[in-house]
Structure 1
Amino acid sequence: MIIRNVRPWGGQASDIDVTDGRIAAVLPHAPSRPDDGTGIDGRGRLAMPSFSDVHCHLDSNRVGLPFRPHTGGSGIWGLVMNDREHWREDPPVAERTTALLGRMIERGTTRVRSYAQIDADSGLERFEGVLAAKEAHKDRADVEIIAFPQAGLLREKGVPELMEEALSSGAAVVGGIDPCTLDRDPVRHLDIVFGLAERHQAPVDIHLHEPGHLGVFSTDLVLERTRALGMQGKVTISHAYELGTVDEATTRRLIEDFAELDVSMATIAPAQQSTALPLAELTRAGVRVGLGEDGQRDFWSPYGNGDMLDRTWQLAFTSRYRPDELIEHCWAVASRGGAAILDPSLQRLTSTADRPGVDVGDAADLILVEGDTVVSAVMDRGADRTVIHAGRVVADQLRLVG
């Protein structure tokens, strides 16, 4: 397939030759180039690496349903219990999850790492809903499922056993959450998480909402286990809103430890972005950083719409970025930054000037989008989009194909 007249990362007009799902050549655009009828007319649009959402909760979304008054309580536990009280009022999880995943693909996301809540209330029902969505869109996107103990591993009986069952039934990642403030036994919590990971040869993803020094304490316990078990490249810490607030020496030390142990970070571009470890410094150190949309219009929050281009704008905005290079870097994080978390064999971003994903040999996971420049595409977030996964068009003009 030839993708004609596109501008990779906003550069010169080019024709991209795709063979067996990968980019075989990037050639100067030639209007006279032969076309066997299988090509795509890029119409001068940008050719960008498609998005990788590495932190979303597909199973909790209410996108497309009528808005309802927000009833969530304060704190993590209050929000968990509010969700538990109401989630069965909506259509089945598989139906909502499949619809949202399709919407995400239509807007340019072709790689997803989604949490699936596993607790004493829902058992494996929510996990099975995400598994159904993955199967429904298996030819349009690559989906990893995290077995996620949203209500903790220790507060209710039987949760570790449910986690084990999910990991034997299609979950690919072991989740953990706030070892100190939720389960209040960080050693036992992390023993279970890393024990499951060792038995199933699975990566780990830890939700960390804990503040300041407490967050650093939990992070150090995770780093300790990563080093002891040789799990470099297999551990992600998500959120970590306040790891940058303790002191400059701690910030520098954590960044160095993350880089040494290849521990990645997933951000949702929160309002507290200024208190997290700084994005540009993480990149310069070679720490893998990816972006995600978190919960979307659910019982936790009314925010979120399935569009990673919107979330890329949010990452630039909350990071207070204005220079073109830094705003373009947000797209790199939202696309290949996350892809390198899902596939540690991919090269890490090491500079805010890195522009990967549209080179010879790369997987042909692309989005063609309107814009004079990459920055204008982030600012305007237009609807003229064509989404390509593994060398095949899977969505066009915000509609699924096939």
Structure 2
Amino acid sequence: MISEGRPWGGEMSDVRIADGTIAEVLPHDPARTPEQVVAGRGRLLLPSFSDVHVHLDSTRIGLPFRPHTGGPGVWAMMLNDRAHWRDGEVGITERVADTLARMIARGTTRVRSFAQVDVDCRLERLEAVLAARETHRDRADVQVIAFPQAGLLREDGSPQVLEDALRAGADVVGGIDPCTLDRDPVRHLDIVFGLAERYQLPVDVHLHEPGELGRFSADLIIERTRALGMQGRVLISHGYGMWDGTESQVSNLVQAFAEADIATATIAPGGGRGIPLRALSEAGVRVGLGEDGQRDYWSPYGNADMLDRTWQLGFTSGFRADELIEHCLAVATVGGAGIMDPSIPRLSSLGDRPGLAVGDPAHLTLVDGESVTSAVMDRPADRTVIHAGQVVADQLQLT
């Protein structure tokens, strides 16, 4: 039982957990003395975080800081990463497992990670992420995306490597920039969705393409989602350029996403690039949050803390009101969970605060704070992390 927690910052409560799920939420009673108690100490009780866009296979968290050497554009950045990722001070399997441990210790127990697969690394990076998933199998739910970062058409043999990754245990079929990288969107998406249909797996497409080109690729993805009956199983990551249109274009695209139950994931980027979060949420589109790379060969940013990234989502969205800051945390927790498991209902409104009701999985985080907004602003270290009803971390350390 969790004693003296405040679900979503509300009234002091005691939460009974049975078989990994929330069995009862009761008003706090100081006289209640169950055998096993997790001391809430008046802290906020929140759903655990869901990082649904992270590249664990390229992490340099915990290693010496290095100058950023990436060039402009996806291809140049990929080649820079390809030239350096094997040269880490420790092996890739160790650093992936360590970064996942740091994420769990800070409250993230649901993770969707990319693993680059191409003719250079083949399955080596995928195997490192799969190994980390096994190491932390009792602490977090991890889905692994077989991700063709170098495209599918530029290097001979790429589609076969992608299929090999699915046979090796990847959970999701990845794709990337069908127009600007592979320059053949129909063929690229035919490969991605063909494999998804063959192996009955969901799809996650990185989309960095600008404006009208991004909307064109999105239309092709929407078309295939409907044709194959893949509603709730397709996600477009990033996709910031496709929202750079007229009010009518944006509204029509939001509606198309909602009708086809296509999700989107953001990393809350700066520079005026973002998503129409309010409009997407009000339409019932599944939206998740992620950290992307973590101090890797692409970017010096990232610190394994989704509470910090929740602050960034609120800040880059220009949000100040408590309801909107709390909504950012709902996106970062249950919003992402509904991407990993489409049976979890979509957030129904800006004020929806799910994840802590009887019958919900006991994937929880206790965190210090006067209110949800104050916790997002302060990002306190006083945290206890619970996965499937068991304490897996406390005070930023695994238990």
TM-score by length of 1: 0.98
Contact 1:244 1:275 in 2 (8 A): no
Specify the SS of the correspondent of 2:241: coil
CA distance in 2, matches of 1:399, 1:241: 35
How far the C-alpha of 1:307 sits from its partner, in A, is 0.3
Identify the residue that residue 69 of structure 1 maps to in structure 2.
Answer: 67
The aligned counterpart of 1:336 is 334
Question: Is 2:278 the partner of 1:283?
Answer: no
> What SS class does the counterpart of residue 243 from structure 1 fall into?
helix
SS in 1 for 2:32: coil
Query: Do the aligned partners of 2:104 and 2:140 also contact (CA within 8 Å) in 1?
Result: yes
What is residue 131 of structure 2 aligned with on the other side?
Answer: 132
Which residue does the alignment assign to 1:230?
229
Aligned partner of 1:148: which letter? F
Change (3 A) 1:232 1:3: same
State the percentage of identical aligned residues.
66
The residue that corresponds to 1:391 in the other structure is: 389
Which of 326, 345, 357 is residue 355 of structure 2 equivalent to?
357
After superposition, what is the alpha-carbon deviation per residue over 1:8-40, rounded to whole angstroms, capped at 9, x for unaligned?
00000000000100000100000100221x111
SS in 2 for 1:155: coil
Give the conservation status (yes or no) of the 8 Å contact 2:47–2:355: yes
> Residues 2-401 of structure 1 correspond to what in structure 2 (within 5 A)?
2-36=1-35, 38-90=36-88, 91-272=90-271, 274-401=272-399
CA contact (8 A) 2:8 2:353 kept: yes
Inter-partner Cα distance in structure 2 for 1:123 and 1:344: 30
Off by >3 Å, runs of 4+ in structure 1: 274-277
Compare 257-266 and 244-253 and name the one that shifted more: 244-253
Retained in 1: the 8 A contact 2:47–2:363? yes
Aligned AA for 1:351?
S
Aligned-partner Cα distance in 2 for 1:76–1:218: 17
Tell me the amino acid that sits aligned with residue 62 of structure 2: G
Aligned partners of 2:380, 2:174: CA distance in 1, in Å? 35
Q: Please report how far the alpha carbon of residue 277 of structure 1 lies from its aligned counterpart in structure 2 after TM superposition.
A: 3.6
**Secondary structure at 1:236's aligned position in 2?**
strand
| Contact in 1 for aligned 2:22/2:360 (Cα 8 Å) | yes
2:342, 2:317 → 1: CA distance?
Answer: 25
Deviations 1:168-227 (A, max 9, x none): 111000000000000001000000000000010000000000000100000001011111
Contact 1:316/1:330 (<8 A) preserved: yes
| Per-residue Cα deviation, 1:76-123 (whole angstroms, up to 9, x for no partner) | 111101001111111221111000000000000000000000011101
Paired AA for residue 214 in structure 1: L
- 1:350 CA drift (Å): 1.8
The residue type paired with residue 229 of structure 1 is L
AA in 1 matched with 2:152: L
1:158 partner letter: G
Which residues of structure 1 form unaligned runs of 5+? none
Partner of 1:360, secondary structure, is coil
- Is 2:368–2:380's contact at 8 Å kept on the other side of the alignment? yes
Match of 2:235, as an amino acid? T
Over the residues paired in the alignment, what is the CA RMSD in angstroms? 0.7
Offset, 1:162? 1.1
Measure the CA separation in 2 of the matches of 1:287 and 1:276.
15
SS of 1:190 mapped into structure 2: helix
User: What is the deviation of 1:276?
Assistant: 3.8
1:275–1:89 Cα change, 3 Å? closer
Please tell me whether the aligned partners of residues 59 and 293 of structure 2 are also in contact (alpha carbons under 8 angstroms). yes
Deviation (angstroms), 1:69: 1.3
Classify the secondary structure of the residue corresponding to 2:354: coil
Whether the 8 Å contact between 2:289 and 2:331 is mirrored in structure 1 is yes
Q: Could you tell me whether the CA contact under 8 Å between 2:384 and 2:394 is conserved in 1?
A: yes
Residue 275 (structure 1) shift: 4.5
- In structure 2, give the amino acid aligned to 1:254: L
Q: What's the TM-score once normalised by structure 2's chain length?
A: 0.99
Contact 1:243 1:277 in 2 (8 A): no
What is the identity, as a one-letter code, of the residue corresponding to 1:27?
A: L
| Greater alpha carbon shift after TM alignment, 102-111 vs 64-73 | 64-73
User: Which whole-Å deviations, capped at 9, do the CAs of 1:274-314 have from their partners, x for residues lacking one?
Assistant: 55441011011010000000001000110001000000000
The answer to whether the Cα contact below 8 Å between 1:102 and 1:400 also exists between their aligned partners in 2 is yes
**Contact 1:238/1:265 (<8 A) preserved:** yes
Decide whether the 8 Å contact of 1:245 with 1:276 is kept in 2: no
Q: Kindly indicate whether the alpha-carbon contact (under 8 Å) linking 1:369 and 1:377 is maintained by their aligned counterparts in 2.
A: yes
